[in-house]
Homo-oligomer: A and B are copies of this chain.
Amino acid sequence: MQNFDFFNPTRIVFGAGRTGELDGLIPAEARVLVLFGGGSVRQNGTLDEVKAALGARHVVEFGGIEPNPTFETLMRAVAVIAVEKLDFLLAVGGGSVLDGTKFVAAAACFDGNPRDILAKFGRNVEQALPIGTVLTLPATGSEMNNGGVITIKAEGAKLPFSSPAVFPRFSLLDPTRTNSLPERQLANGVVDAYVHVMEQYLTTCAGAHVQDRFSEGLLLTLIEHGPAAVKSSDYQARANLMWTATLALNGLIGAGVAQDWSTHMIGHELTVKFDIDHARTLAVVLPAMMQVRREAKRDKLLQYADRVWGVTAGSDDERIDAAIARTRAFFESLGLPTRLSAYGIGADAIPAIVAQLEAHGMVKLGESREVTPTVSRQVLEAAL
């Protein structure tokens, strides 16, 4: 186990029928900006419920945050905050709305050009407006962590940032809020959470036994109960998916272990360039990454094969092959393709994707910083 700091002050309020508690969670005198996405929360009644709970507070709405939230849109929210003198941000939506709200919270207090926040990956963020969230889509874990990913449309860049200042004060997790979601978004959520775990688990065997067991527990839960949560709106299935997705990226399983994240960084470039859903890029990149980096990840791949997939027969290499195949089959069973060809992307596109990685400084990725542009190219080739 490596040395680590763990700190996560977000209050989780979990369960159906608790939206009214917003009134006690937000200061009575707060002037609130409610941020949301494409408008589904308006149609399904969530926004009305939220506004009712906010009572007589001064509330301004800001809709239109995109699935990959853009710097350009978010800076308009920052302008609204200044004009309306708002002091509390309430994000109502999925990971994109939450990520975007975190950026707005930091940008509204930032001394300088908020573009610089992304240049420094958030290390220069010292304060932020307080944030609460009402989660509608289990997937990214943004409801209980201090990070986000922002797209700069003008630059064709999708960049991560994090800061302790943007932890949500609270997140309201009501599994029934997922009832109006399309199957595709739920399936994406299962895979997103799965790959979040893998980025923190499938690295080196560091002797961090608890973290390994927790990661394996999250993966097993997603495998055993994720498909049911996609196919039916059964409360328990949705509750398990929601809490699993939160725990997959709240700092817990990543404390004291090496972390990878190269699959995410390559995936981001695919989203920017081809507008493929975030989780769908991960489903394509991860199996190829496992294949290309199988030597560096050998011990953990064998542990993964055994404990997560129950693969115990065959040589080491056969067991690793089986674990990669099972992973790929799981993603495909949820309707997520695992090949670039499914998106009409061929070998000719690879140089431009690698050039993007280089342009964004993503040249030494992975737990050992071994994922150079050359390795990224191999991964993309293996994903064809």
Binding site for B on A (CB under 8 A): 1-16, 18, 207-210, 213-214, 216-218, 220-221, 224-225, 236, 239-240, 243-244, 247, 252, 255-256
**A209–B240 touching, CB < 8 Å:** yes
A193 CB to closest chain B CB, in angstroms? 11
Interfacial chain B residues near A210, Cβ < 8 Å: 217-218, 221, 240, 243-244, 247
Distance between Cα atoms of A136 and B244 in the complex (Å)? 32
Q: How many copies does the complex hold?
A: 2
In this complex, what residue of B is CB-closest to A215? B217
**A213–B209 touching, CB < 8 Å:** no
In this complex, what residue of B is CB-closest to A211? B243
A297 CB to closest chain B CB, in angstroms? 20
Distance between Cα atoms of A141 and B6 in the complex (Å)? 15
**B218–A213 touching, CB < 8 Å:** yes
Interfacial chain B residues near A243, Cβ < 8 Å: 1, 210, 256
Distance between Cα atoms of A160 and B362 in the complex (Å)? 52
Interfacial chain B residues near A15, Cβ < 8 Å: 2-4
Given A207-B236, A236-B207, A6:B14 Cβ within 8 A: yes
Known A-B contacts: A7-B10, A210-B247. Give 9 more (CB < 8 A).
A4-B15, A5-B13, A7-B9, A208-B240, A209-B225, A210-B221, A210-B243, A213-B220, A213-B221
In this complex, what residue of B is CB-closest to A234? B207
| 11 cross-chain CB contacts under 8 A | A1-B239, A2-B15, A3-B16, A6-B12, A7-B10, A14-B255, A209-B244, A210-B217, A210-B247, A213-B217, A252-B252
Interfacial chain B residues near A11, Cβ < 8 Å: 5-7
A20 CB to closest chain B CB, in angstroms? 13
For the complex of A and B, the 8 pairs showing the least CB-CB separation, nearest first, are: A3-B15, A213-B217, A9-B9, A6-B12, A7-B11, A207-B236, A1-B239, A209-B221
A233 CB to closest chain B CB, in angstroms? 15
A310 CB to closest chain B CB, in angstroms? 13
Distance between Cα atoms of A224 and B240 in the complex (Å)? 27
Interfacial chain B residues near A18, Cβ < 8 Å: 3
**A1–B236 touching, CB < 8 Å:** yes
**A14–B256 touching, CB < 8 Å:** yes
Distance between Cα atoms of A16 and B4 in the complex (Å)? 10
A234 CB to closest chain B CB, in angstroms? 10
A235 CB to closest chain B CB, in angstroms? 9
Q: Which of B1, B2, B5, B13 contacts A12 (CB 8 A)?
A: B5
**B207–A240 touching, CB < 8 Å:** yes
A336 CB to closest chain B CB, in angstroms? 22
In this complex, what residue of B is CB-closest to A5? B13
Interfacial chain B residues near A217, Cβ < 8 Å: 210, 213-214, 216-217
In this complex, what residue of B is CB-closest to A224? B209
